[in-house]
A and B are shown apart, each in its own frame.
Chain A
Amino acid sequence: MKTVVCIKQVLQLGDEVEFTDDGLDVDPDYLDPALNEWDSFATEEALQLRERLGGEVVLVTCGSKASEAALRRCLAMGADRAIRIEGVDRDPFSVARALAEVVSAENADLVLCGVQSSDAVQAATGTALAELLDLPRAAVVTKVDYDAGARTAVVDRELEGGLVDRVEIDTPAVLTIQTGINEPRYANLRAIKQAEQVEIDVRNAAGGGAPAYRVRKMFVPDRGEGAEMIDGSPAEIAARIASIVKERLV
């Protein structure tokens, strides 16, 4: 059983923010790096599958040398090896393309991603990766029941309003893992320090393909006007809304 887990080092924002001079990004001084929360759940799920079925857990990330801290933390949790891809644009399509190249060569039985990253909040990378690998996918997974013999998995997907969608999926497949699926184990610092001895396989992105988007400007939106609360009977409220709409349309 080989599971590939795609992880990301996110940059967390405090309540104070400054932008770089070109206005395209947040000043790095105002950001604290961390392992994306969803990815620790994905890693834990892979580790639990390995505990049950044996095999290997392989980590893949896109990012600079600094992002190895996130890999080390997942290695300290117990993953077997780690690959870092350098020189990848930050948009989900570029990331998915770079990941697809590495992941396809791994011939994994299962590919796990977090549902989304806490800094970009696109929830796109996992799905795009599945498309590029031409694999079945399930998003927002809260339970994985993997059947190694049948090469299928029954997974629960979290829907709106507390509904659960239980689907059977052929594997290999890409699953995007939701928080709360398990209790990620603690990566103690002794293990993290020892993970620093582990050699990380660094690759360069093949490149090619246009990014999904380009950042034009990053800014704090102007504070809007206060909302107006409308009291009264339904008829009065409707009348007031109608007059507002008329006013604004003019």
Chain B
Amino acid sequence: METRETFAGLSTWQIALWYTLIVISTSIFAWGVIRLVIKYRRGRGSFPVDRPLHRAGRTAWIVFTHAWIKRRDGVAGLAHAMIFYGFVVLFIGTGILAFQDDFARPILGWDFWQGPFYLVYSLFLDVFGAFLIIGLVILGVKRARKPKRLDYTRVDGVTSRYARWRYKVGDWVFVDSLLFLGVTGFFLEALRIAETDPPFEKWSPVGWVVGQGLIAIGVDGETASAAHFRSWWVHGVAALTFVAAIPFTKAVHMMAAPASVATRNDRASKELVGLPPNAKPEEVGYGVVTDMTPAHLLQLDACTKCGKCHEACPATASGYPLSPRDLVLDLREQSEGALGIRGWLTVPPLFHSDENLLGNPIRPETVWSCMQCMACVEICPVGIEHVPIINNLRRRLVDKGEMDSQLQTTLETIYESGNSFGEPKRKRGRWAKELDFEVKDARKEPVDVLWFVGDFASLDPRNIRVTQALARILHHAGVDFGILYEGERNAGNDVRRVGEEGLFTDLAESNIEAISACEFSRILTSDPHSFNTLKNEYPALGGSWDVVHHSQFLLELFQSGALTAGRSLGRRVTYHDPCTLGRYNGVYDEPRALIAATGCELIEMQRVRDNSFCCGAGGGRIWMSELKAPDAPRPSESRMHEATALDRVSTFVVCCPKDVTMYEDAVKTSGHEGEIEVRELTELVLESLDFEPVALAATAD
């Protein structure tokens, strides 16, 4: 019968030694895992356990399909899948063998590891073992080519307490130790085959081919047997060492990454988590490492330094002192140095659990550089929530009043006047007075559509033109709509992203009160930032409505026949996905369909949809002084270079008021004046409609 002896050539005491080593290795592994769990439990709060089936299903899907890992780097995804499935199959194979040797045979007297089962088992393990090695070689070659995103040089010029070269060593040790295990495994198999050359071992094709090679050079019989004995111990001890090292090395991601995916918040970034009621200062955001939630602490360990966030981040790309990867590594070093094994063994660099998270090496400027654009969160293959983590760091700074003076003034202005421009309340609805029809006051009469206009669209002269264009279109299409006039305040989306949670709540509550007093069927917003917070964050505060962005609403009007394009514009245009509309809310197709409806030809930029590149205004950055390197282009300028490099594109289409401002400015400052013009989607639609809007009496600008 086809099979083999598991412990061929080992004496009883050697087998006993082997099992002792297994116990030692497993104990070290278990101790390491327990230390990690203890570390995470030092965080504030507990792991989320809601909807366990959904979480388990999602995790299984993401892990087994590699849905997140393969994004934007298919080769790495495929190679990782080969390693992953190679490892999984070899692990299961070892499990089957252990079950046979330590349970089925001695206790049940059942020998199943023979005959056809043995042959198929051998084939499976051989093929997947080969996958493991091929995958490792591919990733090793990619790494050896030194891609920019795997260069761990800090972007902020600060010296880490934990030297970054150690990460490179760790990466190579990880790849090479797996490779060593794979290669010695095959070598071992080949020596075993070479010893007696059983014909059925053709079912282990890789081992058989190598075995034949060994026989050909005279390594067979006793020679092969002796070499097999030595190799067996080398491979075995290496494997047990690897197992013991998992919780302490890069290999920890094999456990931490699925756990991170399982415990992460599905709505991370687009709905930030509020403060506990009557929060004390030490409960506001993150000041020390134990303020972090267990899930966030776990996420830090899940990071594999793949650099996808680093590559996607507009702040990193524009010379700001922030890289999401650097931040995660810094925080990981702090949590490990304060709460983890490093702290326990007092191995420097140590951190103290009551040490401020900000100061050395993470500077406040790093935290303020973030645009909260969600590019990092969206691409992270292990589910790290950089945006909420940064937001929590900001919350503590805001609570202590440690912020840019310009930002402080803006927040005070918003608190006092309800808008970031410091304009009197009455001015909010003034744009409507300049129209040749009346815009209903939704506070005084029922409307079908309650239009929440937003600060920029209400008060910025350039954006008022867009707002008036939208009002004309709605009027033309016969939509029954109204606005809140001075009853509307800043929606609070960016105030919340800045970290001023109290002011956000104040704004949201007063808007919810104003909106709730009106009679309407749905809410229209002309600002993606307001759209996000009304749609995703107001429900938790008691305001749940059907909220649509104007790109969605206008498309509906086209589809229902309320609007028909009278003329085909025939422009070649490109379109910029606003972060809060696209990545935050998945609205990618409606604006594109609208562009098509106006008869424009859409030429896409390189960074589109989920990979869209932030204009630089998000996360309250528009209210702060500049932090980028002086010689680096602003995010909006780099976007302009990207758009103007397209072939004969005349128009840069946006559908966010902040984008209008940012990009009109960037056209001039990036030296592309005259090459391209910025148009709000609404303006494009108005231009395409078959009606002549009456000239405005006194438009701004």
Contact = CB atoms under 8 A, between A and B. Distances in A.
B494 to A, nearest CB: 15
Contacts of B359: none
A186 B401 contact: yes
Contacts of A194: 278
A14 B502 contact: no
Contacts of A29: 426
A188 B405 CA distance: 14
A112 B338 CA distance: 46
A240 interface: no
A170 B502 CA distance: 42
A12 interface: yes
A69 B398 CA distance: 20
B424 A12 contact: yes
Interface residues of B, number: 26
Contacts of B279: 190
Contacts of A13: 424
A189 B275 CA distance: 12
Interface string B402-442: 01010010011001110000011111000000000000000
Contact of B424 (A14, A35, A191, A193): A14
A32 B284 contact: no
Contacts of B401: 185-188
Nearest to B424: A14
B405 A183 contact: yes
A102 interface: no
B501 interface: yes
B426 A16 contact: yes
A34 B450 CA distance: 30
A130 B593 CA distance: 71
B284 A190 contact: yes
Contact of A190 (B275, B403, B405, B423): B275
Given A186-B398, A186-B412, A192 B423 contact: no
A34 B424 CA distance: 11
B424 A16 contact: yes
A190 B424 contact: no
Interface in A184-219: 185-194
B486 to A, nearest CB: 9
Given A16-B424, A30-B426, A186 B503 contact: no
Contact of B399 (A14, A183, A190, A193): A190
A189 B505 contact: yes
A14 B278 CA distance: 35
Contacts of B506: 189, 193
A19 to B, nearest CB: 15
B399 to A, nearest CB: 5
B424 A192 contact: no
A181 to B, nearest CB: 15
B523 to A, nearest CB: 24
B426 A34 contact: no
B220 to A, nearest CB: 78
B415 A186 contact: no
Contacts of B503: 188-189
A191 B417 CA distance: 19
B500 interface: yes
B417 A32 contact: yes
Contacts of B417: 32
A108 to B, nearest CB: 25
Determine which residue in A30, A32, A192 has the highest number of CB atoms from chain B within 10 A of its CB, and name it. Answer: A32
Q: How large is the interface on A (under 10, 10 to 19, 20 to 34, 35 or more residues)?
A: 20 to 34
B426 A188 contact: no
A188 B502 contact: yes
Contacts of B415: 189, 192
B405 A14 contact: no
Nearest to A18: B426
Interface string B378-418: 00000000000000000000110101010010011001110
Contacts of B408: 186
Interface string B472-516: 000000000000000000000000000011110110000000000
A47 to B, nearest CB: 11
Contacts of B416: 32-35
A190 B403 CA distance: 16
Contacts of A187: 401, 412
B628 to A, nearest CB: 24
A187 B506 CA distance: 14
A188 B398 contact: yes
Contacts of B505: 189
A29 B426 CA distance: 8
A193 B502 contact: yes
B423 A14 contact: yes
Nearest to B501: A190
A232 B194 CA distance: 114
B614 to A, nearest CB: 26
A190 B502 contact: yes
A186 B412 CA distance: 8
A154 B416 CA distance: 35
A34, A183, A187, A189 — which one has the most chain B CB atoms within 10 A of its CB?
Answer: A189
B399 A188 contact: yes
B427 A189 contact: no
A188 B500 contact: yes
Contact of B500 (A16, A183, A185, A189): A189
A189 B395 CA distance: 12
A16 B425 CA distance: 11
Nearest to A13: B424
Nearest to A183: B405
B645 to A, nearest CB: 43
A60 B424 CA distance: 27
Interface string B146-176: 0000000000000000000000000000000
Interface string A22-48: 000000011011110000000000000
A236 to B, nearest CB: 42
Nearest to A189: B502
A13 B425 CA distance: 11
A16 B429 CA distance: 13
A35 B424 CA distance: 15
Interface in A142-197: 183, 185-194
A97 to B, nearest CB: 29
A189 B510 CA distance: 14
Given A183-B405, A186-B412, A189-B415, A14 B398 contact: no
B403 A186 contact: yes
A194 B505 CA distance: 13
A188 B279 CA distance: 13
A194 B500 CA distance: 15
Contacts of A193: 502, 506
Contacts of B405: 183
Nearest to B405: A183
A30 B401 CA distance: 31
A186 B411 contact: yes
B425 A32 contact: yes
Nearest to A29: B426
A189 B279 CA distance: 12
Contacts of A32: 416-417, 424-425
Contacts of A16: 424, 426-427
Name the residue among B284, B403, B412 with the largest chain A CB count within 10 angstroms.
B412
Contacts of B426: 14, 16, 29-30
Given A14-B427, A189-B415, A189-B501, 13 more contacts: A12-B424, A13-B424, A16-B424, A16-B427, A32-B416, A32-B424, A32-B425, A186-B398, A186-B408, A187-B401, A190-B399, A191-B399, A191-B502
26 contacts: A13-B424, A14-B426, A14-B427, A15-B424, A15-B427, A16-B426, A16-B427, A30-B424, A32-B416, A32-B417, A32-B424, A35-B416, A186-B403, A186-B411, A186-B412, A187-B401, A188-B398, A188-B399, A188-B502, A189-B502, A189-B505, A190-B399, A191-B399, A192-B502, A193-B502, A194-B278
Interface of A: 12-16, 29-30, 32-35, 183, 185-194
Closest A-B pairs by Cβ, 9 of them: A189-B502, A14-B424, A186-B401, A190-B502, A189-B503, A185-B401, A34-B416, A186-B408, A189-B506
